[in-house]
A and B are shown apart, each in its own frame.
Chain A
Amino acid sequence: MSDKSHDPNQMTGAAMIVRALIDHGVTDIFGYPGGAVLPIYDEIFQQSEVQHILVRHEQGAGHAAEGYARSTGKPGVALVTSGPGATNMVTPLTDALMDSIPLVCISGQVPTHLIGNDAFQECDTVGITRPCTKHNWLVRDVNDLAKVLHEAFYVATTGRPGPVLVDVPKDVQFATGTYHPPRKSDVHRSYAPRVKGDATQIRKAVALLAGAKRPVIYSGGGVINSGPEATRLLRELVEVTGFPITSTLMGLGAYPASGKSWLGMLGMHGTYEANMTMHDCDVMLCVGARFDDRITGRVDAFSPGSKKIHIDIDPSSINKNIRVDVPIIGDCGNILGDILQVFKAEAKKPDVKAWWQQIAQWRARNSLYYRKSNDVILPQHAIQSLFEATRGKDTYITTEVGQHQMWAAQFFGFEEPHRWMTSGGLGTMGYGLPAAVGVQVAHPDSLVIDIAGDASVQMTMQEMSTAVQYELPIKIFILNNQYMGMVRQWQQLLHGNRLSHSYSEALPDFVKLAEAYGGVGLQVHKPGDLDGAIQEMISVKRPVLFDCRVAALENCFPMIPSGKAHNEMLLPEQANDEATAKAFAGGKALV
């Protein structure tokens, strides 16, 4: 006779949640308690396998989980309460959806009998998060909970990764039911992402690559998401073919920045050589990227003479913005392996010497040029100094959003994947600081730096407190120009230099602020003091706010002006008032 009370799989919903986390190998979660998740917090209190990091705002939990996920390749987990806890998660969920980051959010909900009653801290969480998750669930029966949790992890981490949310009413957390470990039947039969590429398409792709005179490989975050094997294969493909390679903001690090075939990032603030190569190429191999509008520039003038191969695991990414000739749906690691195999067996290395000579001429334009100064720190120079000081160290970089983010992408060289955490798709100011918290939790002994702006960093500044509490020695490297730099840049270029609300008035004293939090504050004004201060920042084993005062009016170039094509970039030496006016003329832009 079986006695249910002794069945180890009989447990409360709250216990199931913690058990499922353990079964999925989760060691760290980020969250904030509240009325509707108290039973789960009670379970967390009584165990030691899952470490809970208490953030200061639920948005911080979400971004920290994203940083954790992106730096490890494992799913990030956030735990929040109902109502405001859940609505505060909307930004990180959307961010993770746009950047294809595996995130599992568990939210508390008011008891089932109160749902729809406008109860205290009630909101329609699954309704609100439906468009910003890959999938979400409201669990009404404790006996469905195990299945849903396992499915949630599966959906978040397979196919095109993304955020999922499981909404658990408080009575379901209290109720006792039967738990089961993860099993295959937990997943919707309708969900079967395709991983293997079509063999005919792969042959077509190889034929194009083998016959290319002016090829380019354009890689994206999908390569990093696919895992280390995809990165290795991408590097091998570049080696075997001798083709030039560029990447999106999301894809930095898949191919090393020091590699000889590296063109730099492409797109709106990409290098001249990367964008010209894209524009003039005859064969383009897009791997795990999605022809985003920051990449393509004007779509009807995007790489007009090329045959395009597009590898993506998400069929809806194919032909969304740009018509491609050879779409291949599947996991890019898999497909790169197949392409390499066929290429090595049947094709010989195409002669692309003349193409590289052309690229060398574009490269000679030195599109990342900026004028150094002995009096003020140029933001580009600050990033370069930071890069030099961290070379050879075990470093992870996160960013906020704006000019500093683009400069970091341009001037910080990434040699490995998973080292660069930035909000690409959604462009979330305030992402970098909590993301750094998440990265540091995953890599306690590594150097984790948030390259920040003075405006962005204030959006989630309270997470400094989290860093101090958990002794996470993150470095917040603020390029402080006292402006929302990118907003100001657009206002200068497009809105007649009317700087409407883009000046950072009443900035806090970041040094005192750091000290108030129990961290370390550093400030530097002069280029001559920069290297020493960076060394000090690195050597301090505590959270640091580094207030790097930089030239206030420096703008980010090169740049593809709106409505222009890749070959109409505005280079830094041309970016005087007259040329800028001309480049942006045509609209109501410059008065």
Chain B
Amino acid sequence: MNQPASAYFIEERHDPNETHTLSVLVQNEPGVLARVIGLFSGRGYNIESLTVSETESQKHLSRITIVTTGTPMVIEQIKHQLDRMIPVYRVVDMTLTKRSIERELAMVKVRGQGEHRVEALRLADAFRARVIDATTESFVFEITGNTDKINQFIDLMRPLGLVEVSRTGVAAIGRGPEGM
């Protein structure tokens, strides 16, 4: 191993990265999101997507859904590090449970005329995207689905005059009667 001159033991790890969706139930109090994000930035973890909103206002509970990538050891760390934060109630790895539904909403603006415009509309129909704004030269589509479906739709819109996209990020929930 080629060790550079360092007071630290430098090593490269080559474990493959995995993508996981984590649901985090937190006390909705000032700074809680900053804590969660600070953990990721401070420790060099990735955030692919982040969704957060209060879900039970009576109990001041918020649910944060984070899509993150890392080696299995890093993912394990992320979960433990999140779990030990004072305002965090629970962390559930939705990817590990394999019984979860993930959805994302995107608004997709497409500009075009003639055949492009017709084609965009036809594809939108096939993807069950709704038209939520229209002018004579543009559409805004609203599409809901998992990340892959939305990516696919956006890819198809690109040659047809894609202008911009706004996405909510992933929200996830477990199947069956049980709560988190």
Contacts from A to B (Cβ < 8 Å) = 126-127, 130-131, 134-135, 138, 155, 159-160, 188-191, 293, 296-300, 314-316, 318-320, 323, 490, 494-495, 562-563, 584, 586-589
Chain B residues, Cβ within 8 Å of A586: 1-3
Complex Cα distance, B3 from A562, in Å, reads 8
A131 contacts which of B4, B38, B76, B83 (Cβ < 8 Å)? B38
B35 contacts which of A130, A189, A300 (Cβ < 8 Å)? A130
Q: Is the CB of B5 within 8 A of A188?
A: no
B11 contacts which of A126, A299, A494 (Cβ < 8 Å)? A299
Q: In whole Å, how far is B146's beta carbon from the nearest beta carbon of chain A?
A: 30
Chain A residues, Cβ within 8 Å of B10: 562-563
Complex Cα distance, B8 from A297, in Å, reads 9
Q: Is the CB of B83 within 8 A of A315?
A: yes
Q: Is the CB of A318 within 8 A of B87?
A: no
Q: Is the CB of A562 within 8 A of B31?
A: no
Chain B residues, Cβ within 8 Å of A316: 77, 80-81, 83-84
Contacts from B to A (Cβ < 8 Å) = 1-11, 26-27, 30-31, 34-35, 38, 42, 73, 76-77, 80-81, 83-89
Given known pairs A298-B11, A316-B80, A319-B76, the reply for A190 and B5 (CB within 8 Å) is no
Q: Is the CB of A589 within 8 A of B5?
A: yes
Q: Is the CB of A299 within 8 A of B9?
A: yes
Chain B residues, Cβ within 8 Å of A584: 5
Q: Is the CB of B87 within 8 A of A562?
A: no
Q: Is the CB of A130 within 8 A of B31?
A: yes
Chain A residues, Cβ within 8 Å of B7: 490, 494, 562
Complex Cα distance, B2 from A298, in Å, reads 13
A563 contacts which of B1, B30, B31, B89 (Cβ < 8 Å)? B1
B86 contacts which of A127, A138, A155, A320 (Cβ < 8 Å)? A155
Question: What are the nearest 4 A-B pairs in CB distance?
Answer: A563-B3, A316-B80, A494-B5, A135-B86
A127 contacts which of B9, B34, B88 (Cβ < 8 Å)? B34
Given known pairs A131-B38, A586-B2, the reply for A188 and B81 (CB within 8 Å) is no
Q: In whole Å, how far is B73's beta carbon from the nearest beta carbon of chain A?
A: 7
Q: In whole Å, how far is A45's beta carbon from the nearest beta carbon of chain B?
A: 32
Q: In whole Å, how far is A499's beta carbon from the nearest beta carbon of chain B?
A: 15
Q: Is the CB of B86 within 8 A of A188?
A: yes
Q: Is the CB of A315 within 8 A of B3?
A: no
Chain B residues, Cβ within 8 Å of A490: 7
B9 contacts which of A130, A190, A298, A320 (Cβ < 8 Å)? A298
Complex Cα distance, B132 from A37, in Å, reads 55
Complex Cα distance, B55 from A40, in Å, reads 39
Q: In whole Å, how far is A358's beta carbon from the nearest beta carbon of chain B?
A: 26
Q: Is the CB of B5 within 8 A of A588?
A: yes
Chain B residues, Cβ within 8 Å of A300: 11
